[in-house]
Amino acid sequence: MNHNKFGQLVRIIYEKIDQPITLDELSLQIGMSVNSLKRLCQQSVNQSPGAFIRKLRMELAFRSLQSRENSILEVALASGYDDHTSFSRQFKETFGYSPTHAREKIKIVNELECVILEEPDIVELKDLHLQSVTETGYYYDSAPKAWIKLKEKLTEQELTDDFTGVFVGIGHDNPHDGIVPENKSRFSACTSHKGRNIEAEQFLILGGKYVRFRYTGKPNSVGLAYHYIFGQWADKSANKINEAKPAFILFDSFPEITKEHNLMIHVPIN
């Protein structure tokens, strides 16, 4: 295998990555026949020249999607495609999802890398009796609505630091397991108000063993911590999550979307 020739081939492809490329043109520039060019690609990467060029274009496109400065059409054109449709079709064949979905995945991964969670501890909890308001929808919709409705049931004093109860958020469904549609996810905003009945639903969190994570951030970003806990942490941990019980978030004060809170995420384990 001629490594120098293959390196030269890759350099030429990158120089023309946003232009139409023919095998005749490539073979002429690299100084070998079309058949020799095909053998070189097969020996080097076990692909035909056409498949190798498409792969390089897709890898370039994937990296380009990390920046939101350019539209998907602009990324397609810069990757040598004439239109959005053919680019999207090839992208999905290569990576398994559309460019739009890929951009969202990249965004989530980049944000997940910024999530910092301390090493959790294990606690034994007693039953926790709550009064709750539950809303259904996408979590980014249902959670704020539930908190707004709960707030309407509370007095001004109960929303201050003098309040002796606690505030708890519970996401009942996993929108990624395919059992419950994302737009049907249930979220409960709860308080452990012992002083009076606020005319809300009664909810019981069963006691037992929980892993407790401490997280500092805005309530609308806590989903990133959940992605980490139920993804990377769950895969590596010797503790197995008890899926018969819901995980829940304990807030340091009544949740405000734009305010940073010190949260404690409790995940039930067997």
* Greater model confidence, 216 or 258: 216
How many alpha carbons lie under 13 Å from residue 101 in its C-beta half-sphere? Answer: 8
pLDDT tens, 40-55? 888 877 888 888 888 7
Q: Which CATH number fits domain 121-268: 3.50.50.60, 1.20.1280.290, 3.20.80.10, 3.40.50.300?
A: 3.20.80.10
- Phi, psi (5° rounding) for residue 193? -70, 115
Confidence of residue 104 (pLDDT cuts 50, 70, 90): low
108: Cβ contacts below 8 Å, ≥ 6 apart? 224, 227
User: CA 27 to CA 38: how far, in whole Å?
Assistant: 9
Is-contact 211 236, C-beta < 8 A?
Answer: no
* Greater model confidence, 88 or 129: 129
* Greater model confidence, 240 or 89: 240
User: CA 213 to CA 248: how far, in whole Å?
Assistant: 11
User: CA 112 to CA 162: how far, in whole Å?
Assistant: 34
pLDDT tens, 215-226? 887 777 787 788
pLDDT tens, 65-101? 666 666 777 777 776 777 777 777 777 776 566 777 6
* Greater model confidence, 153 or 115: 153
pLDDT confidence of residue 125: 94
Return the biggest CA–CA distance within the chain: 86
Tell me the mean pLDDT in the region 183-188. Answer: 89
Model-level pTM?
0.58
- Percent of the chain whose pLDDT exceeds 70: 85
Domain boundaries in the chain? 3-110, 121-268
Is-contact 192 101, C-beta < 8 A?
Answer: no
Question: For domain 3-110, is the CATH number 3.40.50.620?
Answer: no
SS3 34: helix
